[in-house]
Structure formats: structure tokens, C-alpha cells
A and B are shown apart, each in its own frame.
Chain A
């Protein structure tokens, strides 16, 4: 049942309004931070209040105004969108606390612009999640691109400037190609409304054209999701402050890219058409390649944030792979991996940030023995690392298990091999840090005075780490995210879903 309700727009608007207020209260840091936190709570409250009805099969929909003469500026809360909206709006809360602790602890400049852009990014992310048609989606997608840019060049040095340029080049080029694709889709189908199972069909255009169309559009998602060889911007963007890295690499930007791929696969082209034109297979190859290659690169990185960035590149390709396999369970796994990876990676990044602020260490080779001074931080780090590798009872396992089952459903055991390799590789690049931190002696006598990070940073880390475990044991804890993922996958594959976790 479709319910007309303005709440989706309120959820998007509340952080836009916050951004506005933040800009005007730059002189009073406490007031400014209050707006961030208040917006985070209201936003999450609004989104979560819609979950029960969505789980019951209802859909909230609202058209604010006509965006062109024939298309509406419409938000709709289907299961897939709700899932992403829940993740991003919920994680906004810990990150905004963490950001306060980090920015103040690190004495960053330009904090007003930082918090304002941050709020706009979250608006855009929720807008992306809930968009009902491709044009609305694109508007939020571009808004996200533009709003993230100030966060990337935040340090205002040459490195940050080039990272910003690189980021813009990658995202704007792919964005414009996607726009051209949208125009073509509109001309072919006469509609841009997302429809579970896709609204394009094989008789609408020649096969080569549909293949071409799929690639120029999926490029938009693949760039933000960091699918190789389009991942170049992501490690460079590491110059940004750590809360941004946490946001970019766990919640907003990269997930928006992955979500874009899922939308295109599930709601524009549809598994049936993609199987007919064979385009998804190519995407799956790219994703599989990325999963392995990025892990190998990650092993060589000494800078912890860079290592995590390459890990993100690999993990995001799980989502892309899950979508590209076109099996019901792999799509389910892909959706749930958005949740899983968000929780785990945000924990890892926040740990890295806590180390930077408290111990002033960027490089792994300097972290010998740090675990004895920051045991809670490093314990959380270890939990999240194990989750990334796919250990049972941590949330990452569930999504990987489903993607693997999906590979079996479409008889592609090769991808299971890829997943296993990737899990082992993840262990081998994440666990050494734990080993160094806890079991290596601290040779040069550092880490005597540093204790744990301050509470603003420590508590969010514990919360997300705890949630990774809880959701690993009870994937339906809280807003029934597993059910949402399952509903989304069911709607895309028209009912048939098979077993599952």
C-alpha cells in the first residue's frame, strides 16, 4: 500500500537545515555541534519511524514538486532504500560525536565548513537511498559529489588540492556519462521510475545499445564504489580528516556508489534483461578482479588509513559482485553487505583516527605495542578486522555467506574461490596490526603517556563494534535490516529467493 507522507523529505531536509544553521553559528562551536547532533538524532528518528510500515509491505511516497515538466521530485521508501537510509542515518549519530572529539582533539581549522558539508553529505545519502526515480537519484548523487569535495580538500595543502581535483575528475566525468544514460533511458522507456525487476526490456533497443547504456550508467556507480580500475580517487582522498574517511569509506560516498549499482541492476535494467544481454558478467569479472587486487595492494601499505582504503575498495566490490551475479541470494547478500561493511569499516576508520589523535601515529610500523595503551580501541579494531575477513558471529559473515550461496545458485563456484581468497588476504593485511599492537614490545619506549582516546571518540567506536557482533548473531536486531535486504532481493527477483542464512 502506498502512503502519502512527507517524512522522507523531512529526513532529507533536517540535515540540510542543520547545514544552514551550522554555517551561521560558526562563532559558537558548542551551538554548532549541537545542530549536528540534533540533526543526526532527528534524522535517524524519522527514518526508523518508517521502518515498521515498510516491513509490513507499505511504501511511503511523496512528490515535493515537479522536477521537469514530466517528472516528479519524488522520494519513496521501498525496502532497498530503507535499508541504506537506516544505515546512513544511524551511523551519522556515532560519527557526528566522533567528529566532534576528533576535530577538537586534533585542533583542525575550518570546522564550520567541515560540519556543514558533513550534514549536506548525509542529506544527499538519504536522498539517494529514498529516490523514487532516476532523475531525483541523479540530483542527490551530484549533490553528494559536490558536498564531499570540500571535505576532501579540507587540509588546504597541495596534497589535498590534488586529491580534490582527482576526486572531482573521477566523479564528475562518470556523473555526466550517467546523465547522458538517463536521458537515453528516458527516451527508450518513457519513464524513469524505479521498478523492482527493472523497467527496460530487450525489445526496446538493439542489444549493443543496451549493453553500452548499462556500462556508461554503471560507471557512475562503479567510480564511487571504487571498482578497479576506477578506484584511483579513493586512496588519495585519504588526506581528508578521519571522520571524513569514516564517512566516505563506510557510509556515504562509496556506499552510494554501491547502492547505485544495485539500483541500476535491480530497478532499472533488471536481472532478466542483464542476463539476456550478458552485461552483468563483465561487471562481475571486474568486481572479482578488484576484490583480489585491492587486497594485494592493501598488504603493501604502511599507512593505516591507506591500507583501510584499499580494503574498502575490495569490500565494496563484494556488493558489486553480489549484484552482478544476479542470483537472489547474492543480491540479498549485497544489500546486507552494505550494512555489514558500513559497521565494520566505520569502526576500523574510527580506530585509526583515535590512534592519530591520541598517539599521533599514521603508520603501522610505528604502532608496536600500542595495544597495551589503548586496549579498548585495539580490541574493537580486532573485532572489526575479523568481521571483514568473514568470521562467523560477526556481521560480515552473513553477507559473505549469502553472496557465496548466490554464486552457487547461478552455478559459478569460481566466485566462491574469490571470496575465500579475499577472506584470507583480509586476515593477512588486517591482523598483523593487532599482532603488532598487542604482542610486540614497544622498542623505543613510546606510548607511556598516552591512554585511550577521549570519550567522544571511544564510545562511538565501542558502539559500532558491539553492533557488528550483535548483528552478526541476530541479523534482525533493531530495524530488521536482514528482513529489509531479503524483501529487496525478493522484489527484484520476483519472489524466488531460495534458502539463505
Chain B
């Protein structure tokens, strides 16, 4: 059983996705239960996998699909880094699935079943992208994730549909660019297996065609990760997506392409090649610009969700900068930030979703004295905001420190300046949120979903929100163990020298 963990992570939600509408048809709640159960199972498998791979000292686990040996067959390759990212994705998906149940209270069986199908499929796509060891297989999962993402965004209402359509147009271009890139690689090597490619490509890395490949990959993953200037689709999509699904969409959907980028550049190609270095420089510049512009745009927003969306553009910039630095600490920072940011952004979307659920409100200026009505939600907002700014002891501080250390190590001082400026810009808009909550007079919000008893929100929502707040703090306190016991085991050997 335990040797099948890699495939179970994908298989469980996939089956649940297919079964969910039928179960919903028979009994409306059943579709929800099966999806949540499958995502929970998937999370357990990924934790088991993480334990396996770290117990093996970071030795990658290869899982052959249907026992077909690569390079002909498809394999999943699990190293500590993607194991921890998959654990994060499945955990996020599980929590989001539980969290979104109150939103679907009044929906009919088809809506309920369809929603959970999409949710489970999104998890399938994202975990598959992270785990796979085959470039074409990655494309398949990429499309699964994108299509289910379009669906979840469109469920958010009329504006959501428009946002989804816009994302669909841009996202499809991104996916096609990726397909082109692997087409080129296939034409050069005749292989689609990542491990195979990394060997075969080594003496072809200075071919002019590689410039094309690297450029296409940056554009493709840039679009999917909403890296500046490919982020046009993202603010609308995050803002108008289904409020129940927004934590997963914002937390995980843009991180996985960033991780895929890391995988291509550092594991497949190797950062020592000239073209890759240039590519990384480009990513770094885009990331730095995104950090500044995203933050500036975020300051201008009054809609909390839109502010968070622009802040995501900035935070993806952190990850891009970490990659571009390309030293050990740069990568550690980038990977840690993938995890940190998923929880920070996820929790913020959960919190504002909770406010939206109870009061139908998402404008920052209308949150006055929210701490009186929803103390736990406000606690999470504060912790996540501190993490976003990079104030200890929240997790975000430490990823920033590692990235800065990396920048110092390689003498790219400009990135330190960018991060300092970015922290201050982040402080402007997150402290503004807190100021609005604590200082503004009571906004007199009307309850649209009054909660029974003393709880500020239904438990299904409150528990994930508080849990995420605690996780953000825990990631701060335990960052050294995450780095030492997981991330360092999975880094390419060249960095550990």
C-alpha cells in the first residue's frame, strides 16, 4: 500500500471528482462527503510520502505508472521538495473543501456535485503537476488544473464568468506555449521524461533553439503563475471567483507553476548554462518589477480580495527573485515562500470569505470594529498580514531573510533593496487593513447569515481559519526544521557543496 502513495494522491481525488455528482444526485450531502474524504485521504498519503522520502535521506522515489519503465512509461518522481509542496496542496484543498461547505448550504444537487468535482480536479491537477516526472504528463495536469480553475472562477457569479473567460483565453495561450516548448525539446532529444531529458539536453544547452525553449517556458509558467507582466488575468479571477474556492485558487494555483519553473531550470537544465542564467536574470527582473508594481497596485484597492490579488503578484515576485538569485539560500527562500505564501494568502482569502459569508462585505473601509464581532478571524488576518509584510515571528519573515541572505551571498544587492521597499509597501496596505479594523468606528454591517450561538462563523469555516493562523506562526517557529530536514535534502547537489 505505502509504495502506492504517489499515485493515490492523484487517484483518490480523481475518483471522487468523477463520483461526486452521482452521489450528490442520490443524496445531496454525499457528494460533499466523498470529496472531503478523498482529499483527506490524499493529504494523509502525501504526509506518508513526505515521511518516506525524508526517512530515505532525500533519495528520490520513482513510481512507474502501470509498471511501464521510463523513458517510455510515465513516472512520478518524488523528492522532499515536491513531497512537501504536495502535502501543502492537499492540505489546502482539504481545508478549503471543508471551509466551503456553508457557502453551498442552499445549492441544489448538481451545483453541489459539480462544485466538488471541480475542487477535487483542481487538487488532482496541481498535485499531478508537482509530482510528475514527465514533461508531457505535466502538460496534461496543467490543463486539468486550469480547466477546473476556470470552472471554479466562473461559479463566482456574472463577473466571475467574465473573469474566467479572460483567464481561459490567456491561460490557453500559456498552455500552448508550454506545449511548444516541450515540442522543441522533444525534437532535439526524442524524449519526454524529465530525468532522461536532463541527461540528453546537457550537450545541447548552447543550441540557439534553447533560447526559444527557455523563453517559451518563462512565458508559459509566467502566465500560469501570474508573474508580472503576465498577471493581467489574475486580479479579476481572484476577486470574483467562488468565495469558497478562493483560498485554494489563490493559495496553490499560482505556486505550482512557479515550482515547475524551478524544476525545469534547476533540475532539468541546470543553472550553470549561459542561457539558463540569462533566463533567470529575466525572471528576476520581472519578479522585482512585479514586487514593486503589484504592491503599488494593491495599495490603491478598496476591495479586500482585489488587494490580496495584487499582493499575490508581488509575492510571486519574491519567489521569482529567489529563483533568479539561484544560490542555495535563494532557492530555500523561494521554496519556503511557496509554502508560507500559500498559507498566508489562503488564510486571508478564508478570512475575507468568512466576512463575506456573514456580512456580505469585502470592502476594507467597511471593516471597522470587526475585532469585536469576529475576534478569531481578525487574529488570523493580523497574523497573516504580519507574515505578508515580513514581521517576525510569522513565517513570511523567514523566507524573506533567506532570500536576502541568498542575494547577499551572490552579491545581487539590488534584490535586498527591492525586498526592503516591498516590505514597506506591504506594510502600507496591510497596516491600513488593520487600522481600518481596529480604529474605524463600527461600520454597522448587516448580518446576512446570522450564526447560531456564540460562534462568529460556522465551525467548518472557523476551524480552518484559526488553524491557518496557527500554521503561519508555526511555520515561523519551525522554519529551521523545514529547511534542514526537508528542503535541503531536496536541493540539487551543486548547492550543498
Contact = CB atoms under 8 A, between A and B. Distances in A.
B485 to A, nearest CB: 10
B420 A179 contact: yes
Contacts of B391: 142, 145-146
Contacts, number: 75
Interface string B432-470: 000100110100000000000000000000000000000
B32 interface: no
Interface string B389-409: 001110001100110110011
B481 A66 contact: yes
B420 A68 contact: no
Nearest to B332: A69
Contacts of B484: 66, 69
Interface in B363-409: 386, 391-393, 397-398, 401-402, 404-405, 408-409
B404 A183 contact: yes
Interface stretch (A49-57, A165-173, A328-336): A165-173
B33 interface: no
B438 A186 contact: no
Q: Is the interface of A mostly helix, strand, loop or mixed?
A: helix
Contact of A173 (B405, B424, B480): B424
Interface stretch (A4-12, A98-106, A156-164): A156-164
A146 B480 contact: no
A156 B480 contact: no
B420 A177 contact: yes
A435 B479 CA distance: 59
B289 interface: no
A333 B176 CA distance: 71
A184 interface: yes
A279 B480 CA distance: 35
B74 interface: no
Interface string A47-85: 000000000000000000111110000000000000000
Given A68-B401, A142-B391, A161 B483 contact: no
A157 to B, nearest CB: 8
B307 to A, nearest CB: 18
A139 interface: yes
Contact of A183 (B332, B401, B438, B488): B401
Q: Is the interface of B mostly helix, strand, loop or mixed?
A: helix
Chain A residues touching B, range:
20 to 34
Contacts of A173: 424
Interface in A169-208: 172-173, 176-177, 179-180, 183-184, 186-187
- Which one of B392, B401, B477 has the greatest number of beta carbons of chain A within 10 Å? B392
A118 interface: no
Given A187-B408, A187-B409, A143 B392 contact: yes
Contacts of B386: 146
A493 to B, nearest CB: 31
B427 interface: yes
Contacts of A161: 435, 439
A400 to B, nearest CB: 36
Nearest to B401: A68
A142 B409 CA distance: 25
Contacts of B408: 183-184, 186-187
Nearest to B480: A66
Contacts of A150: 438
A438 interface: no
A138 interface: yes
Contacts of A139: 392-393, 397
Contacts of A164: 435, 439
B392 A165 contact: no
A153 interface: yes
B420 A172 contact: no
Contacts of B103: none
B487 to A, nearest CB: 9
B201 interface: no
B331 to A, nearest CB: 13
Interface in B399-434: 401-402, 404-405, 408-409, 416-417, 420, 423-424, 427, 431
A65 B488 contact: no
Contacts of B404: 179-180, 183
Contacts of B401: 68, 135, 179, 183
Contacts of A149: 431
A146 B382 CA distance: 11
A153 B408 CA distance: 37
A156 to B, nearest CB: 5
Contacts of A180: 404, 416-417, 420
A312 to B, nearest CB: 25
Nearest to A138: B392
A68 B386 CA distance: 18
Contacts of B438: 150, 153, 156
A65 B483 CA distance: 13
Interface string A113-152: 0000000000000000000000100110011011001100
Contacts of B398: 67-68
A142 B435 CA distance: 18
Given A161-B435, A186-B408, A69 B416 contact: no
B296 to A, nearest CB: 17
Interface string A241-279: 000000000000000000000000000000000000000
Given A176-B423, A176-B424, A187-B409, A165 B488 contact: no
A111 B435 CA distance: 18
A168 B420 contact: no
In the complex, the 4 A-B pairs of residues with the closest C-beta atoms, listed nearest first:
A66-B480, A139-B392, A187-B408, A183-B404
Interface of A: 65-69, 135, 138-139, 142-143, 145-146, 149-150, 153, 156, 160-161, 164-165, 168, 172-173, 176-177, 179-180, 183-184, 186-187
6 contacts: A67-B479, A142-B391, A142-B392, A176-B423, A179-B420, A180-B416
Given A142-B392, A145-B391, 8 more contacts: A67-B398, A68-B479, A139-B392, A142-B391, A153-B438, A156-B439, A160-B439, A180-B417
